[in-house]
Structure 1
Amino acid sequence: MVFVILFALVLLALFLPSWWAGWVLRRYSTEREDYPGTGGEFARHLLDRFDMGHVQVEETNGGDHYDPMAKAVRLSPEYLNGRSLTAVTVAAHEVGHAIQDHRGYTPLAWRTRLVSVAGSAEKLGAALMMLAPLLLLVTRRPAGGLIMLLGGALSFGAAALVHLVTLPVELDASYRRAMPILASGYLPKEDLAPARRILTACAFTYVAASLASMLNLWRWLAILRR
């Protein structure tokens, strides 16, 4: 019974934040005729306002993000071309990352470097996990299993570390950058509380991803201790 309760709590911790975030984003995705521009136009305006004319605004199907290497704010089509509260708020959040980069925000630089290193570690881990069964079959020794466990720890450990570093960067972009901008006259007062909920929802997606990565890492570490 205790195991079932713990399992249910883990499932809630993993899936509830993502579900709630998606629900909030959809709730405020209704087009607003009273907004003067789209999310993409708002992003362009803010970038120019903060002397970042060199940063591009681009469409993406790979998730809304700011690319510090390419100097580009990338928005999904519904936010780039939409006039909803969600579109405007997400655009402000991604511009918040561009402001971090422009002003030399150190945690963003750490995350950028870490993502590159973690990507290599995950690839190495995946390769080790694929190689392990073959090595075990050829040698008939437990070395293959150990290599597989090492690969899993590398892969999920790298992902967990990236998510842990990412969350504070996301919170800064939302609450120290985007929210003050939106509250400075860009949104009517009645839209400020929903905008904050949208920014919280964006952060919750990283909370869910971090919990999933930590759970996977804990599972592999538990196996290694046996």
Structure 2
Amino acid sequence: MASILLPEWWVSHILKKHHKTLPNMPGDGESLARHLIERLQLDCDGIDSADSGYGSYLASEKRFIFNRIYLKGKSLSSIAIITHEICTALQHQKNELIYQTKIKHFNLARQCQKLGATTLLFVPIVAGLIKVPQILLIYILVGVGFMLLSVAVYSYMLPQKLDASMNKALPILDKGGYLPKAYVENIRYILMAYAILDVVEALADILRFWRWLGLINQPK
């Protein structure tokens, strides 16, 4: 169990640890985003803020959505998340093969997560209707299987995330003079953590769901 939850804890820890205001940062995350969009000549129809999550690029709308704490923040985490998503848009608008592979499998990963969660959601009801333990076990394994499949698909898409973080965002920030050299190693860790976010969250979702099921099935 610890080996499944530890990666998510590490990612969350890295992003929180480095979300501290940098005294010498000239602008916030939104300023950086707009600057990089202009510098990379990206076609962008808007930047929106949200109250949850981290950041995402909506390819079909050519829009970005960032958690407002990162969009308005002046931290290393803000810089890393903003730049990663900008580089994801760069992959898309350059029609890179690695991004096309991600697009083909992203919906599959999401559907597997939904099917798995929906299946497991009805475990208490199915348990009350089916009195054969073997059948109930098969039903549960199907739900868990769907969620594990989503982990596998997200892992298959990992090269796209790593390319956006390590092959594009990191060189832009390092060689572009956006950061003092003292911060480059920390940015490297943050970008790596952000790149594997989808995989570790999908993996941890399995245990989170089982913890919830355990609570609703506790004896009164």
Shared fold per TM-score greater than 0.5: yes
TM-score by length of 1: 0.74
1:63-113 CA deviation, whole Å, 9 max, x = no partner?
Answer: 312222222222111110011122112111111111111111223223223
**3-state SS in 1 of match to 2:70:** helix
Q: Does 1:200 align with 2:192?
A: yes
TM-score by length of 2: 0.76
Name which of 10, 15, 23 aligns with 1:25. 15
**3-state SS in 1 of match to 2:99:** helix
Residues 154-173 of structure 1 aligned to structure 2 (within 5 Å): 155-173=146-164
**3-state SS in 2 of match to 1:185:** coil
Runs of 4+ in 1 over 6 A off after TM superposition: 140-143, 213-216
1:163-220 CA deviation, whole Å, 9 max, x = no partner?
Answer: 212322211111111001001211121121111121122234345336547999xxxx
* Structure 2 Cα separation of the partners of residues 132 and 203 of structure 1: 35
Q: Verify the 8 A CA contact 2:54 2:70 in the aligned structure 1.
A: no
Match of 2:37 in 1: 47
Higher alpha-carbon Rg: 1
Q: Verify the 8 A CA contact 2:58 2:64 in the aligned structure 1.
A: yes
Question: What is the Cα-based RMSD across aligned positions, in Å?
Answer: 3.1
Cα distance 1:65–1:136, how it changes in 2: closer, same or farther (>3 A)?
Answer: same
| Structure 1 spans left out of the alignment, 5+ residues | 1-9, 217-226
**3-state SS in 2 of match to 1:70:** coil
Match of 1:71 in 2: 62
Provide the aligned length of Structure 1 versus Structure 2.
205
Deviates more, 1:102-111 or 1:88-97: 102-111
Instruction: Return the structure number with greater helix share.
Output: 1
**3-state SS in 1 of match to 2:168:** helix
Q: Verify the 8 A CA contact 2:106 2:154 in the aligned structure 1.
A: no
1:34-76 CA deviation, whole Å, 9 max, x = no partner?
Answer: 1121111101111111111424222122331222222222211
Cα distance 1:133–1:84, how it changes in 2: closer, same or farther (>3 A)?
Answer: closer
Cα distance 1:63–1:143, how it changes in 2: closer, same or farther (>3 A)?
Answer: same
Q: Verify the 8 A CA contact 1:39 1:81 in the aligned structure 2.
A: yes
In the alignment, residue 180 of structure 2 is paired with which amino acid? P
